[in-house]
Amino acid sequence: METTLIIIKPDAVQRGLIGRIVSRFEDKGFQIVGAKLMRITRELAAAHYRDHAGKPFYNSLIEFITSQPVVVLAVRGLGAIEGARKMIGATAGLQAEPGTIRGDFGITNSLNLVHGSDSPEAAARELTLFFQAEELLTYDQPHGRWIYG
């Protein structure tokens, strides 16, 4: 089982899409093992987006992600990283496939609703930025056998 970080970004929070987005991950069979409603500080944003430092869009990323509350999730399941990325869709909403979060709810590249870790290494690093180890829970998912066999 993998655990990945999902951030429901300010645009999705402001549009009232939290429940609809969370339910997509749960409907797929992924387990929510950590969740927080929070404001991301500039320091945390800089650590999260460190790979983009120096790029022309870096400052706008920081401004956007710190502008309003977000919901951060730790999502666990078989193939959670790749599966979540497929569910999220292409960065720009107009290019994202219908049925994906961005394809169904997004239009632009900059207001793209959700972040999902893009690799096991990124997931491990990002999860430690947003969650203490004791905040990631392990619990029985009674219907799990109906998901994984």
Residue 109 has pLDDT above 90, yes or no: no
Residue 144 pLDDT exceeds 90: no
pLDDT one-digit tens code per residue, 111-125: 999 999 999 999 999
Q: What is the rounded CA–CA span in Å between residue 10 and residue 21? A: 13
- pTM flag (> 0.85): yes
Q: Is 115 a catalytic residue?
A: yes
Euclidean distance between CA atoms 8 and 65, whole angstroms: 10
Architecture of domain 2-139: 2-Layer Sandwich (3.30)
Euclidean distance between CA atoms 110 and 113, whole angstroms: 9
Residue spans per domain, the chain = 2-139
Structure confidence at residue 17 as a pLDDT band (50, 70, 90): very high
Query: Which one is catalytic: 48, 52, 115, 143?
Result: 115
Other beta carbons less than 10 A from residue 112's beta carbon: 23
Q: What span, in angstroms and rounded, lies between the C-alpha atoms of 104 and 55? A: 29
Share of the chain above pLDDT 90, in %: 91
Identify the DSSP state of 142. G
Q: What is the mean pLDDT of residues 70-84?
A: 98
**Closest residue by Cα to residue 137 from 32, 6, 27:** 32
